[in-house]
Amino acid sequence: MVEADFYDVIVVGGGTAGCVLARRLTEDEGIKVLLIEAGSATPPTESAQPPLWPTLVRGPADGGGVTAVQAATGNAVHLSRGHVIGGSSVINAMMFARGHCDSYADWPDGWRFDDLLPYFKRSESVPHGDPALRGKSGPLRVSPVSPANDVLVAAMRGALDCGYRRADDLSGGCETGFGAPDATIFEGRRQSAADAYLRPAMNRPNLDVITDAIAHRLLIRKGRCTGVEYSTAGNPSTIVSSAAAEIVVSAGAIGTPKLLMLSGIGPKSHLRDVGIDVVVDLPGVGSNLQDHPLAGLVLAAAQPIPAPRNNRGEMMGVIRTNGSAAAPDLQILFVDTAAVTGLDLPNSFLIGAAAMQPFSRGSVRLDGMEADSRPKASGCNRTWVAGVG
């Protein structure tokens, strides 16, 4: 075991949140920060080209696997997770839209839409929209892409013909209907969290970034987390880095509970089942997993679909299926290819419906004691399958 440098803050997980944290924390020159990421420092070349994002699923930057067999369907489902600096913002479809403002009404005090709005605005730089809702000088530069693919324009026209309203700025979070959401594309290239936040800060002397590093466990001494034990690719030695102030675990909805449980923090019955000593019995760790499951309908186009220009999903809808509901409960996605489903169907496109308020809840459980083993994500036997992402 090798004792490494001492830091003020260690951030475990260099995904979307980790990149933001590393940049913001190191704005204070007196705070020394270590960012640890399990994936590579270099994204796939295809990642920068918006139309190629479907090829990234199950690729080298996708560190996901399959869920446990789902009770509701009898099938396991692929669970994509970014495995690279920038995390899932490197492999996703680049659609940028806040949750609808009414969706935050049931959140705790301090986490409602109006509470979060200043931070939403601070993160973005948007050339359009109401300045009361949209930021103009943030690190992440977003806007609707143009021109949209003809097949998506036709789908949008169909939605309006069905009586749905046109939304001017869906990404602002206060409208329903159909419109063009913003995309994390700038000057024709994907803009990940690493591009917007981390890379401009990489030369700061108070920031160290270690990639290809697997976190084995958190070190707990006298009830306090003081360090992280990890290993790097090609190095047989285990490394320990310690922090004076905080350890921030931002390893995602799957990776965070996995690391906590590997460290002995979680439901004691499960930890004992896999042979891990219990440090803190916290039954909630790994529970209440939820997502917005998507069902897609693949359609054949009546005429040739033009080649993709942008992120293949330039139109979107946010609607209420229950007119008396406060918050929208369904997101409609138009995608100009069926390839994202894994089907090789030329001249076809996809209309998808995603549940925004699913009832189902799943869980994350360990599949062994090793840090590089994949955790198991499972769902509940409800209408929607949880743990699908």
Rounded Cα–Cα distance for residues 15 and 257 (Å): 15
Give the pLDDT mean for 119-148: 94
Torsion over CA: 139, 143, 145, 146 (sign): negative
pLDDT digits (tens, 9 = 90+) for 313-339: 999 999 999 877 889 999 999 999 988
Confidence (pLDDT) at 384: 31
Q: Please give the mean pLDDT across all residues of the chain.
A: 91
Give the pLDDT mean for 371-377: 68
Q: What percent of the chain has pLDDT over 90?
A: 76
pLDDT at 382 over 60: no
Rounded Cα–Cα distance for residues 291 and 42 (Å): 28
What band does 389 get if pLDDT is binned at 50, 70 and 90? very low
The residue whose two tokens read 């894994």 is 342
How far are the Cα atoms of 66, 216, 233, 386 from residue 382, in angstroms, in the given order?
Answer: 19, 34, 41, 9
Please calculate the CA angle 350-161-354 and round it to the nearest 5 degrees: 35
Give the pLDDT mean for 42-50: 97
pLDDT digits (tens, 9 = 90+) for 282-318: 999 999 998 888 888 999 998 999 999 899 999 999 9
Q: Please, is 177 exposed, middle or buried when counting C-beta atoms within 10 Å of its C-beta (0-12, 13-18, 19+)?
A: middle
pTM of the model: 0.92
Give the pLDDT mean for 92-110: 94
The hierarchical CATH code for the domain 1-94+185-288+363-373 is 3.50.50.60
Confidence (pLDDT) at 175: 94
The residue whose two tokens read 């186009």 is 301
Q: Where are the domains of the chain?
A: 1-94+185-288+363-373
Give the pLDDT mean for 1-5: 75
